[in-house]
Amino acid sequence: MTRSSHQQSNPYDELAELFLTDPDQQSLNDQPLEPGSAVASKVRLSLVGHLPVRAGVWMSPYADAAARHAGPTAMLRFDGPMASIELLRAEPSLVARLDGEDLRATIEVLAGSVRQWLIRPDVGEGIDQLDTRLCDDVHVLTGADEAAVVAAYQMVKQLVDSSEQGGRRVPDIAAAVLGASPEAAERMVDRLNRTARSFLGVRIPLALCVPCMEHTIESTGFLRFENKTIPPLGEVINWIRRAERTHKAIGEESAAVDRSRERRQISPDPQAHAPRNEFITALEAELASSGGRSSDDRPDESAVAADDSASDPGEMTGRTGPRESPSPSTAQMQEAAGSSRAASSPDEWAPARTAGTSQSRASSAGSSMPPRGHARLTPKPKVTVECKSPERSAEPTEGGQALPLADQVAGLTALPVRCPGHERVELAADSSGRVHLLMRDPDLRDAHVVSRWVRTHQELLALACREHGLTFDRPPTIHVVTDRPDRVADLHGSDLHLHVVAPVDVEAGRQWYAAALNQPQAAYG
């Protein structure tokens, strides 16, 4: 018996579709957007609506989908007194230039390379409190179920009402549907548009559709700014605008300098070849005075050599004697050649030196072209290599390979599997078979995604790690490893297991110190 179309599907199957990518299915992320679409904007306000599972885990897939069209993208998130920036599809060398302590300095560096900014305001800040005049447009991040449609319409209505009450223009609003197929996303936006056009007079286009959490997210770097005084959202956007204007002015000035340099290099200089032209004119006069003999009419070289030896015996035998004065035509040619050498630079024109009177006569009578110049080669640049000591490892290693984090926690054994798309989160097991998740503090936001993935695929994990006797009657235990305990000071009262693994440099070399920072009551239990 087949299932009817209106019957609800298995919720576990729907959850699996969110995390497993169908390679044969083409999503809206892989389709080119129309010109003038919202993805091409510079600064975008991203408002989180009703999303599947957990809203936080969809932010990176959404930002990566937008970055596929616009290029390097920065996702700026505000959470109370904390702010964070995630850089996607940017050059890895850009991360090394960032200041991880000052939010404004980081924005000033990124403004020269980032093509778009996705700003997610604090979830506690009401929509009516947001000033949308400084943004190019607004994205409403939503699912495709009934509750998502209702929540999206309420957010659009609040945006329209607050703009009209404040006398502002209603911003361009688009929908980004996450966790649904392209067909379901189009149906959801169509329903939303029918209501929005009827009661609000606005149209909500479909900007992005992310069917599932793919493993091809290109996250270049993640920075967190904690315990800092975070200014209002409008001031942060002004920082972005001012930094963009500064980079634009610098780029225009550099382009003007390059164009000026190119014009100087390609513009003809009428005086550059004047000395050479004078030399050619004098040489033509010499050839004309000699009767215009060609190379076929010149005398035999042996006769010329004999005449030279008779006229200048000292040159051939080494004895000194009176030299024959050159003919007026030859003196005129040499004077013209000397004046050209004095007037032109050595790099532009340098006549070949003659070895004697006989060679000078032979070259002047037998050739109708000026001597070929000697080009001066540009010296090769010198590079000074500074010897530096090899960089020390930033994590425990053995034989050149990084050790698992499970080796730093007593009683745990690393498992040979990882969650797709979140390979930085390690899986381990204790003696009772309970699963543990270990990660460094910047990857803490992936913990719940991997924890749900473990519970969803527990049968496959049990088969893959049969020798560990895994049990799934309790949720996985989460361990957070850091090299700076002050960064996780606010997590001591949670159910997370905190550990410090930090380098210690001694005379024998670099050693590693590992210790637990807290003991949650539910530890291993």
Instruction: Give the pLDDT of residue 205.
Output: 93
The stretch 381-392 carries a mean pLDDT of 64
Q: What is the pTM of this model?
A: 0.46
- Would you list the DSSP string of 99-115? -SS-HHHHHHHHTTT-S
The stretch 415-427 carries a mean pLDDT of 90
123: pLDDT confidence band, cut at 50, 70 and 90? Answer: confident
Q: Where is pLDDT greater, at 113 or 125?
A: 113
Percent of the chain with pLDDT over 90: 21
18: pLDDT confidence band, cut at 50, 70 and 90? Answer: low
Instruction: Give the pLDDT of residue 311.
Output: 45
Strand ranges of the sheet holding 219-225, from the earlier edge strand across to the other edge? 206-210, 173-178, 137-142, 43-48, 116-120, 73-79, 82-88, 219-225
C-beta separation of 208 from 171 below 8 A: no
| Amino acid symbol at 398 | E
Percent of the chain with pLDDT over 70: 66
Q: Where is pLDDT greater, at 87 or 323?
A: 87
Q: What tokens were used for 86?
A: 């995630």
Instruction: Give the pLDDT of residue 249.
Output: 82
- Would you list the DSSP string of 456-471? HTHHHHHHHTGGGT-B
296: pLDDT confidence band, cut at 50, 70 and 90? Answer: very low
Q: Is the pLDDT of residue 180 over 50?
A: yes
Instruction: Give the pLDDT of residue 439.
Output: 92
Instruction: Give the pLDDT of residue 374.
Output: 56
Q: Which residue has the tokens 């390059």?
A: 258
Instruction: Give the pLDDT of residue 266.
Output: 61
Cross-strand pairs, 350: none
Q: Which residue has the tokens 């361009």?
A: 172
The stretch 500-504 carries a mean pLDDT of 86
Local structure of 308: helix, strand or coil: helix
Model pLDDT for residues 397-415, shown as the tens digit of each residue: 666 677 888 888 888 999 9
Distance from C-alpha of 231 to C-alpha of 235, rounded to nearest angstrom: 6
Q: How many CB atoms lie within 10 A of CB 261?
A: 10
Model pLDDT for residues 449-497, shown as the tens digit of each residue: 999 999 998 888 888 888 889 999 989 999 999 988 888 888 888 889 9
Model pLDDT for residues 327-359, shown as the tens digit of each residue: 445 455 555 445 544 444 444 444 444 444 444
Task: Give pairs for 360-365: CB < 8 Å, separation 24+.
Answer: 360/330, 360/334, 361/304, 361/308, 361/330, 362/298, 362/301, 362/304, 364/283, 364/286, 364/287, 364/330, 364/333, 365/290, 365/293, 365/298
Direct distance between the N- and C-terminal alpha carbons of the chain, in angstroms, rounded to an integer: 45
139: pLDDT confidence band, cut at 50, 70 and 90? Answer: very high
Cross-strand pairs, 419: 422
